[in-house]
Amino acid sequence: MSASLRPSADLPPRVDLSNCDREQIHIPSSIQPHGMLLVLDPVTLSVIQCSDNIGLLLQKPGDSILGLSLSEIGGLDVGRRLLHHISKAPIQNRPFLLRTVTISDDHRERQYHAIAHRTDYYLILELEAVIAPPSVDDALPDVHAQVDAFTLKAEEAASVAALSQTTAQSIRDLTGFDRVLVYQFDEDWHGIVVGEDGNGELPSLLHHRFPASDIPAPARELYRVNRVRIIPDASYTPVPLTPNLNPLTGRPLDMTFSTLRSVSPIHVEYMKNMQTASSMSVSILQGGRLWGLISCHNHKPMHVPFQERGTCDLFARAFSLRLSALDRAEEFERGIEVKSVFTKLFAVMADSNDFASALSSHADELLAFVAASGAAVATDRGYLLVGKTPTEAEVQMLADCLFKSDNREVYQTDCLSSTYPAAMSFTETASGLLAIAVSKIHAGYVMWFRPEVVRTIQWGGDPKKNVEYVEGQWKIHPRQSFETWKETVHGRSIPWTKNEVDGAGELRNAIVEIVLRKAEEIAELNQELTRSNRELEAFSYSVSHDLRAPLRHIVGYAEILRESVAEKLSEKDQRFINTIIESSEYAGKLVEKLLEFSRLGRAELQFNRIDLNELVTEAQADVMHDAAGRKITWKIDKLPVVVADLMMLRMAVRDLIGNAVKYTRQREEAVIEVGSYSTDSEVVVSVKDNGVGFDMQYADKLFGVFQRLHRWEDFEGTGIGLANVQRVMERHGGRAWADGQEGNGATFYFALPRKNLKE
């Protein structure tokens, strides 16, 4: 680094390159010298401002004509005719050619195009020199024939590249420039040359890129509103205006639509570094937005008459119309593809109770829908992955990040790592992301992925601007060389098209509609199920209550019978009566348990803070009455305080610890462990034993009413205890589950939500 470029503590802050975006290039207060400019009062048409070079024509100072009408200006013998044309012509805020006039200058006649346009405050008249006027014998060009010929060629172009090439050739044939480029802006306002025609005087720039800073925002806006600009000679000396400020506004003259407007010194330096002595640009608009430029260059000074510039503008408009037709055709074709796949996916989801499973089971259609290489369906139940995707853990983190940081219903990017740095670790599967949010409550998304496409970009020179410290200030210079400068771009995928993004949005709406419809159906079923459950519970309670008395009677009369006729009964008869009594007593216990289970669903919860240590100690003492003489080792951790219904939780803990004692009966030494752990949302308690265990394939039967995995003869019980545990947890908004291995013990868990805890 040279000393002049090295920042130091003595230098002011380095120049802000965004200053280029704030440069007021529409008010340079000067013009290019290939013409003269007059600013007229819109009412009196008297001169209120003029370019200084008007004095060369008049042979006296330019400010001497201020306040005079055109007809009163000496040397302008055509003034009256100009006034007539100004009064009759439909002059708007765009340059309008009034006529070509001949003005005598130093015993020499010169021709000028008289060009006028209006603003809100004044009328601007420009006299642009006709550098190479046609001879008397030369026929004026037939603009209609030129435009018609170009339009026919443009209509044959089947792609943007072909259209751009045709346009570059036609513009160069018309104007004679050494090189004509068709330059397209991307979404970040960087430009790429998509069409070119040249004679070899200047180097080719086809497919080269140029940074957005080459054409800053103010320049792009000028290109948008004023479609044609020409610089005949980049080495010109600007001609100032007199006076410097416009008398009607007190501000610099707005020269947005001036054909002679002077350009930024940085741009002039840019042209010289590019080895172009003259240039012309014609804007290409799409829907009012600047799509690109037709950029013309010549290695020597060159002027293009106003009429030909107007023809070039018509070419650009025809280009825009053909471009729109090509875009519409491409969008229509892709739209049909998207709609076709959408119809299939919609039908699949409509016939399924689970949209996520339906989508993932039709992976080909899901991926083809938006031309993705991988997809993921994220719901509160888990993640379903198809194709080439990041890992499930990476998808989960991405979904969580989207849910927390982005509330858009449709999200799309072709450079995921620019907004989600963690994506740098999986660019080979997901540099591009298109996601639709299917839930506002959970991190529910359908996500499509596209892999990284490593590209080598050819820039027209190193895109970085040259900044140096000269004479006490930082100065910006365009790059000195425009030789090909290559850059390898990583972390980007093929961009998503508008049809693909819109199609994803439609799919989101369809999913939401299906989910809502299913939710309504489930709600109706739940209402019916709730009503049926209430009727069933009432019936169960009634039957159980009514069965208790008959069962007590059976037991009572059987015992009386056994005592009164004991000496008359044979051993076999005695066994029959004992079986009646035992079976009736067991039936009575079942009825009591069934009543107890029914009450759990009907009783109102009474929440209290409960110390689980006390509850476990109480249950432990209770069950040990039936386990006297057994060797049992207890390992009980310090347990937390929870908020629950005391009676219900006591029953659940009693049943779990009682089961642990019962199913370790066959062990010489029983080991029972009670522990707990907490998560952000719940408190989990576990009861582990080294008993007979169970086969996990039957785990779903454990918590059902009257479901048993072991014979009653081996382990007594009613088969309702674990159902009670499940019912208690459900009433508290918690859950219960178990892990086990046959012959190697079991662990039973229950979880209570932390939301009821009072800190």
- Average pLDDT for 673-680: 90
Percent pLDDT > 90 in the chain is 28
- Provide the pLDDT for residue 371: 85
What lies within 8 Å, CB to CB, of 655 at 6+ separation is: 721, 722, 724, 725
| pLDDT, tens only, 99-123 | 888 877 666 778 889 999 988 889 9
Structural tokens at position 638: 């310090």
| pLDDT, tens only, 430-477 | 999 999 888 766 667 889 999 987 655 554 555 555 555 445 554 454
What's the rounded Cα separation, in Å, for the pair 344 and 353? 16
- Provide the pLDDT for residue 697: 77
Q: What's the CA dihedral at 163, 168, 172, 174 to 10 degrees?
A: 30
What's the rounded Cα separation, in Å, for the pair 15 and 23? 13
**Pairing of the two strands 455-460 and 208-210:** parallel
Instruction: Work out the angle between the directed axes of helices 721-731 and 571-602 (0-180°, nearest 10).
Output: 10
- Class for the domain spanning 30-129: alpha beta
Which is more confident, 487 or 190? 190
Residue 445 φ then ψ, to 5°: -145, 150
- Class for the domain spanning 352-456+489-496: alpha beta
CA atoms within 13 A on the CB side of 325: 14
Q: What's the CA dihedral at 636, 638, 643, 647 to 10 degrees?
A: 30
Which is more confident, 94 or 20? 94
Q: Burial-class residue 260 by CB neighbours within 10 Å (0-12, 13-18, 19+).
A: buried
Cα Rg of the chain, angstroms: 44
Least confident of 33-42, 254-263, 312-321, 375-384: 375-384
Confidence tier at 22 by pLDDT (50, 70, 90): low
- Provide the pLDDT for residue 133: 47
**Cα-based angle 265, 268, 271 (whole degrees, multiple of 5):** 155
DSSP code of residue 20: G
Which CATH number is associated with domain 506-602? 1.10.287
Which is more confident, 569 or 601? 569
Counting runs of H as helices and runs of E as strands, what totals does the chain give? 16, 29
- Provide the pLDDT for residue 724: 80
* DSSP-based three-state secondary structure for 377: strand
Confidence tier at 84 by pLDDT (50, 70, 90): confident
Least confident of 12-16, 198-202, 214-218, 667-671: 12-16
DSSP code of residue 743: T
Nearest to 378 by CA among 421, 304, 433: 433
Confidence tier at 130 by pLDDT (50, 70, 90): confident
Percent pLDDT > 70 in the chain is 76
How many other β-carbons are positioned within 10 Å of the β-carbon of residue 666?
Answer: 10
- Provide the pLDDT for residue 636: 92
> Residue 297 forms beta bridges with which residues?
179, 279
Please say whether the structural domain 605-756 has been given the CATH code 3.30.565.10: yes
Confidence tier at 714 by pLDDT (50, 70, 90): very low
Q: Is 598 left (phi over 0), alpha (psi -120 to 50) or beta?
A: alpha
| pLDDT, tens only, 249-269 | 999 999 999 999 999 888 888
Q: For tokens 């004044």, what's the residue?
A: 122
Structural tokens at position 615: 């509850």
| pLDDT, tens only, 637-654 | 999 999 988 888 888 898
| pLDDT, tens only, 491-518 | 888 888 887 888 888 888 877 777 666 6
- Provide the pLDDT for residue 433: 93
Contact between residue 664 and residue 702 where contact means Cβ atoms under 8 Å apart: no
| pLDDT, tens only, 355-410 | 777 787 788 888 888 888 999 888 877 888 989 999 999 998 898 888 888 778 89
Q: What is the mean pLDDT of the chain?
A: 79
Give the Å distances, CA to CA, from 428 to 132, 341, 401, 454, 492.
59, 26, 20, 10, 10
Which is more confident, 720 or 707? 720
Q: Burial-class residue 573 by CB neighbours within 10 Å (0-12, 13-18, 19+).
A: middle
pLDDT above 80 for 559: no
> Residue 458 forms beta bridges with which residues?
208, 486
In CATH terms, the fold of domain 143-237+261-328 is: Beta-Lactamase (3.30.450)
What sections of 137-294 are H helices per DSSP?
A: 143-156, 160-175, 217-225, 265-273
Confidence tier at 16 by pLDDT (50, 70, 90): very low
Structural tokens at position 676: 């707990």
What's the rounded Cα separation, in Å, for the pair 203 and 459? 13
- Average pLDDT for 753-758: 69
- Provide the pLDDT for residue 253: 94
- Average pLDDT for 60-85: 74
Which is more confident, 50 or 713? 50
Model pTM?
0.56
- Provide the pLDDT for residue 587: 66
Contact between residue 540 and residue 594 where contact means Cβ atoms under 8 Å apart: yes
Q: How far is CA 195 from the centre of its chain?
A: 31
- Provide the pLDDT for residue 282: 96
Q: Burial-class residue 629 by CB neighbours within 10 Å (0-12, 13-18, 19+).
A: exposed
- Average pLDDT for 62-83: 74
Least confident of 50-59, 98-107, 515-524, 687-696: 515-524
Long-range pairs of 529-537 with CB within 8 A, sequence gap ≥ 24: 533/601, 537/598, 537/601, 537/602
- Provide the pLDDT for residue 705: 53
Confidence tier at 538 by pLDDT (50, 70, 90): low
pLDDT above 90 for 238: yes
Domain ranges of the chain: 30-129, 143-237+261-328, 352-456+489-496, 506-602, 605-756
- Provide the pLDDT for residue 8: 40
pLDDT above 50 for 218: yes
Q: Is 439 left (phi over 0), alpha (psi -120 to 50) or beta?
A: beta
DSSP code of residue 495: P
What's the rounded Cα separation, in Å, for the pair 150 and 722? 85
- Provide the pLDDT for residue 182: 95
**Same topology between domain 30-129 and domain 352-456+489-496:** yes
How many other β-carbons are positioned within 10 Å of the β-carbon of residue 179?
Answer: 24
Structural tokens at position 92: 């708007």
Least confident of 27-36, 40-49, 289-298, 545-554: 545-554
pLDDT above 80 for 97: yes
What lies within 8 Å, CB to CB, of 105 at 6+ separation is: 56, 57, 75
pLDDT above 50 for 15: no
